[in-house]
Chains A and B, each alone.
Chain A
């Protein structure tokens, strides 16, 4: 039997072969073992949107934590609120004081308006935390029987009215640098201002903010925007620059991105891609470190509108491609992991606009953005950018 006859024997047998039907239960076995994750039954099959469950879960977790922090900030729980506030303690002191008998003008000794230092000492005696009643702070006026206790200091500089005992038992209330030079006392040689000065209270408009970011993105290669969304999650730090409207933002952001690629834009190892390849779809995960400058176009106490720009050094952590490879009579889908191949670091320019709403020391902002590649990255040497939206929850420090 020559070669051709031998080949024909097998070829003809294969062509004559009538394929059998699928045996009973074959589909069920296939579906359970191959199409569903381990331990999951057909009735529990996840919707398409949950295929990226771990990424979605991470983003939801970040948002949930941020939401809890925000809620606690607005409505502190009694058992978790920490040190009771000075206002609350003052209120309790007032409530527990013996009321004067009707028709008299006698004031309880603890609230004698002629002895402001005693009032302060009485209140501070029950203040166990760091929030002392400071003369430099402004408090709501105390009242009892319709009479205001004006001796609670309302304005800075009131320490000169204090009882002498206060100044000897407690630390100074103010930074001495705030006083005119002529009024500053002479200090001994071993004077250390960091040990003797009390930290000022947190200003209403803090310069530092930290926050959590979560968002969604669409990959973009040379203007072609992907239809499959990816996810962002990360940490954000923001520093306000003096009294200006400028801020500097930075952070660490984890990004997953999916993008469609034209053959002309895909150059693995610098070479053009084979004409047999089509429908290239890439996906990657990246970590970027944005450094942005922000300008508040509108800045009020409660809300801000801003523009932001900067650069993100970006490291590509994982990359893979799915594409069709045509061997002459039909395309075959190929899934190839190319992590670690090609250039793994590049930079993108960031442009965004946004809106920030503030509640006390917590704020939420939403910022649509565009990322413009400043180089090429990855196995395919792609100019990979993106568009998306980030939602941030920030807290004043």
Chain B
């Protein structure tokens, strides 16, 4: 099925089509926001393959929950509100993923090799971010999630504690250790 260029369709149309569960509109939304979603999931997962799987799991939740997505009255803010909603879903999907003990058994092979090859070619100009993401991916899951939520998403420690199911003190401790590890890794890169 050939899909017209994404610029021909407004976000409002895509959201409306997805609320009706129409696959062609779901495809347009998926393809338009795939990259954004991947960039979010990369900082909460240990590998690109894992991030791609989180993107797909996140989009399942997006399409299932689309009926509950409330569009703002002012359509100018629709993009901002939708991206915020989408980012939240991707973050929660990624965090739930590493918290789930069953995730490895349930992993589905989505053909990461093919996806990765194509994605790498498109992202050749953005190595700075990807290099930094690789550093984040070397952190432990708890440190990685805490640092990303605090430093990049702007969560407070209270919100991080509630999201990850940890105490505020643990959140602060994780953030401190994550920063320490990242500094060490950055120094090694500079040497």
Complex interface residues of chain A between 300 and 331 (CB less than 8 A to chain B): 322, 324, 327-331
Any B CB within 8 A of the CB of A182: no
A19→B87 CA distance, assembly (Å):
13
Proximity bits, B38-75, A CB within 8 Å = 1, else 0: 11000100000000000011011101110011100000
CB of B118 within 8 A of CB of A24, answer yes
A317→B133 CA distance, assembly (Å):
45
Assuming the contacts A10-B152, A23-B118, A333-B64, asked whether A327 and B159 have C-beta atoms less than 8 A apart, the reply is yes
Q: How large is the interface on B (under 10, 10 to 19, 20 to 34, 35 or more residues)?
A: 35 or more
Contacts of A25 in B (CB 8 A): 111, 114-115, 118
CB of B39 within 8 A of CB of A14, answer yes
A335→B122 CA distance, assembly (Å):
35
Contacts of B43 in A (CB 8 A): 14
A307→B34 CA distance, assembly (Å):
58
With both beta carbons as reference points, the residue of chain A lying nearest to B37 in the complex is identified as A19
Assuming the contacts A20-B122, A29-B115, asked whether A330 and B61 have C-beta atoms less than 8 A apart, the reply is no
Contacts of A10 in B (CB 8 A): 132, 136, 147, 151-152, 182
Any A CB within 8 A of the CB of B14: no
Assuming the contacts A26-B115, A27-B27, asked whether A331 and B39 have C-beta atoms less than 8 A apart, the reply is no
Any B CB within 8 A of the CB of A7: yes
Complex interface residues of chain A between 19 and 72 (CB less than 8 A to chain B): 19-27, 29-31, 33-35, 42, 45, 48
CB of B89 within 8 A of CB of A22, answer no
CB of A42 within 8 A of CB of B115, answer no
A7→B179 CA distance, assembly (Å):
8
Any B CB within 8 A of the CB of A177: no
CB of A23 within 8 A of CB of B115, answer yes
A323→B61 CA distance, assembly (Å):
12
Any A CB within 8 A of the CB of B36: yes
CB of B118 within 8 A of CB of A1, answer no
From DSSP, what is the main secondary structure of chain B's interface residues? helix
Contacts of A35 in B (CB 8 A): 23, 26, 60, 63
CB of A22 within 8 A of CB of B30, answer yes
Contacts of A22 in B (CB 8 A): 30-31, 34-35
CB of B126 within 8 A of CB of A332, answer no
With both beta carbons as reference points, the residue of chain B lying nearest to A330 in the complex is identified as B85
Q: A296 to chain B: closest CB distance in Å? A: 45
Contacts of B64 in A (CB 8 A): 333, 335
Contacts of B103 in A (CB 8 A): none
A86→B147 CA distance, assembly (Å):
89
CB of A1 within 8 A of CB of B122, answer no
Contacts of B99 in A (CB 8 A): none
Any A CB within 8 A of the CB of B10: no
Q: A35 to chain B: closest CB distance in Å? A: 7
Any A CB within 8 A of the CB of B110: yes
Contacts of A11 in B (CB 8 A): 151-152
Proximity bits, B116-140, A CB within 8 Å = 1, else 0: 0111001101101100100010000
Q: B33 to chain A: closest CB distance in Å? A: 8
Q: B163 to chain A: closest CB distance in Å? A: 8
CB of A333 within 8 A of CB of B122, answer no
CB of A18 within 8 A of CB of B30, answer no
Assuming the contacts A6-B183, A9-B132, A20-B38, asked whether A30 and B59 have C-beta atoms less than 8 A apart, the reply is yes
Q: A327 to chain B: closest CB distance in Å? A: 6
CB of B39 within 8 A of CB of A19, answer yes
Contacts of B65 in A (CB 8 A): 322, 324, 332-333
Binding site for B on A (CB under 8 A): 1, 3, 6-7, 9-11, 13-14, 16-27, 29-31, 33-35, 42, 45, 48, 279, 322, 324, 327-333, 335
25 A-B pairs, CB-CB below 8 angstroms? A6-B182, A7-B179, A9-B132, A10-B132, A13-B129, A13-B132, A17-B126, A18-B35, A21-B31, A21-B122, A22-B34, A23-B115, A29-B114, A31-B23, A34-B57, A42-B23, A48-B21, A322-B65, A327-B159, A330-B81, A330-B88, A331-B85, A332-B88, A333-B61, A333-B65
Knowing that A14-B39, A20-B34 touch, tell me 7 more A-B residue pairs with CB under 8 angstroms.
Answer: A6-B179, A6-B183, A7-B179, A19-B35, A20-B122, A21-B122, A23-B118
